[in-house]
Structure 1
């Protein structure tokens, strides 16, 4: 990917971003991942760097290759101070410690997994030197199940001990943590409050997966699920209330998508200063298929920010197909600000 940038502008933008990002990152990691150290509200407010709206606008424009159209960038309220996006590109490892089937998090010993994650962080930093890259562990805290279980909800909540272990791992590389929910036959109203003590931590955020929301009563995995704007707005309101009540930096909400039906009434999804929304392209396969999915179901139905998932195995299963490169992904319109590896 070729980009022509005047040297002065490049250096100016880099210096502005570096100063802003370093302050925000230090603020975000200042509290313990496991909550052992809690900073008081007054202290949090003093530590948060005021939002640089001029820089924010510059980066937003860069995400659309300086070619805004009728859909992008989306007009949304400015985030509160301490916002991660768009000042960082987040590179996340996804999965569950109990199994290797759900992603890279459960496929390697912890140290090896973290080492590989940081190699990907470095790779993306080199691909786009103007955007600071922040590592993340995207952990399946509630997993959909083929069997109903005790509550007949077709979902399994991970024990606190395992979530704490993931938070400790994230702390080793100064990563944020995203706790993901697959509701099965349950609902976000039942599942999100169970994670509140974690979501109150500065560096813990939320992911929700409509694929496994079985409103039709089907067994998870038998049919692709769905969530409506009403469901998503509940999650947004819940996070927004937490941020306001405890004076937290803005929360990320990652929403997976690879079909039209996974999200309904997208235009009714609300945006607010307390929550930053990412629609994450979750489909696997060869590059042309993934790009088509991104354009059809993420770019074509804008909400706020976009993400892109890469599957180490499934994307490269049939030669000559291989994992898409950073340059290929950064050529997309708009540029994804969240990158997830499974």
Structure 2
């Protein structure tokens, strides 16, 4: 459905008034009613300029209210993925073997493994259909400052488009993940807007590598986002949904420490964006379950996620990577987003 109505219906709410000149009647007029032809014609006044920012904000407020109304009536907006599905994702970068299972193995071998994982999750919980996903680190924190000193690098257009084609070939949705380094979301997210207009493309933000408030390069400390940063990402995605008549976007927010997200109670939800707080830590099952409890379960936002690491969770022996059945049996609430790295 469209979130828009005619431009003119918004003008009164913006304090813009169109003045219409009085029109003469069709009947005859007396001499006193006739215009004085010797008078100088009145010069039309110039219409007041439209405040484009004010108009844009008014549209966003209206669309937000309309989305809230639809969600309250129907439970959610049409096309919403959660909570009617469980998203299962492979994470990484198709150009990097070291970032995760996505890219670590040859494409066809990786997708055969992925198919097995999807079947495992569907067997573990037949009540929810599994939505396969690729989660691609698209703006990546760097050890080198780069020309602008921001310690981050964006994938090429060719790499992003190839990743999108992989997703479409295998009926996956796609998450574009953002690690801002010493930059910030305001300067990075707009770079992804052309891709986010595609209904299958969603977004992740990773506070671990958000270093602006830390003042050091990525990797030296664990970074942080405040609720206002998460809200910025939500509003950014909500606008794209409204402007392009899209189903709701999913936003994943990585977290595995207390300090990675501050003021979580101030995160403002919007039906156009489904927020997943994603437990991103690696280690033995007990440690992972404790982190999920402390930073996800006891500090709820909307939906929850859980990450499994092929390389790091099994170390040291006899630890192991949790199975789908173990995750569902031992975590409350049961995560609706599961990611493999």
Distance 2:290 2:72 in 1: 33
Count of aligned pairs between the two proteins: 270
Using the TM superposition, give the Cα deviation of residue 119 of structure 1 relative to its aligned residue in structure 2, in angstroms: 1.1
| Counterpart for residue 339 of structure 1 | 338
Distance 2:197 2:186 in 1: 17
| Counterpart for residue 183 of structure 2 | 186
| Counterpart for residue 236 of structure 2 | 238
Contact 2:179–2:209 under 8 Å retained in 1: yes
Residue segments in structure 1 that go unaligned for 5+ positions in a row: 1-50, 57-77
Contact 1:185–1:213 under 8 Å retained in 2: yes
Contact 1:255–1:279 under 8 Å retained in 2: yes
Pair 1:282 & 2:318 matched: no
Contact 1:139–1:177 under 8 Å retained in 2: yes
Q: Secondary structure of the equivalent of 2:140?
A: strand
Counterparts in 2 of 1:166-185, with a 5 A limit? 166-185=163-182
What TM-score do you get using the length of structure 1 for normalisation? 0.77
Distance 2:280 2:71 in 1: 31
Higher-RCO chain (CA-CA 8 Å, sequence separation at least 6) = 1
**Coordinate RMSD, CA, aligned:** 1.4
Using the TM superposition, give the Cα deviation of residue 53 of structure 1 relative to its aligned residue in structure 2, in angstroms: 8.5
Contact 2:71–2:77 under 8 Å retained in 1: no
Using the TM superposition, give the Cα deviation of residue 98 of structure 1 relative to its aligned residue in structure 2, in angstroms: 2.4
What TM-score do you get using the length of structure 2 for normalisation? 0.77
Distance 1:201 1:234 in 2: 20
Distance 1:291 1:201 in 2: 35
Q: Secondary structure of the equivalent of 1:137?
A: strand
Distance 1:241 1:119 in 2: 37
Counterparts in 2 of 1:1-342, with a 5 A limit? 78-214=75-211, 215-331=213-329, 332-342=331-341
1:78-122 Cα shifts (integer Å, max 9, x gaps):
431100001110100000122211101121011111111111111
Greater displacement, 320-329 / 287-296:
320-329
Distance 1:98 1:52 in 2: 39
Q: Secondary structure of the equivalent of 1:316?
A: coil
Contact 2:71–2:271 under 8 Å retained in 1: no
1:148-199 Cα shifts (integer Å, max 9, x gaps):
0011110001001001111111111100000000000011111110000111
Distance 1:206 1:174 in 2: 17
Computing the radius of gyration from Cα coordinates, the structure with the larger value is: 2
Distance 1:172 1:99 in 2: 20
Using the TM superposition, give the Cα deviation of residue 52 of structure 1 relative to its aligned residue in structure 2, in angstroms: 10
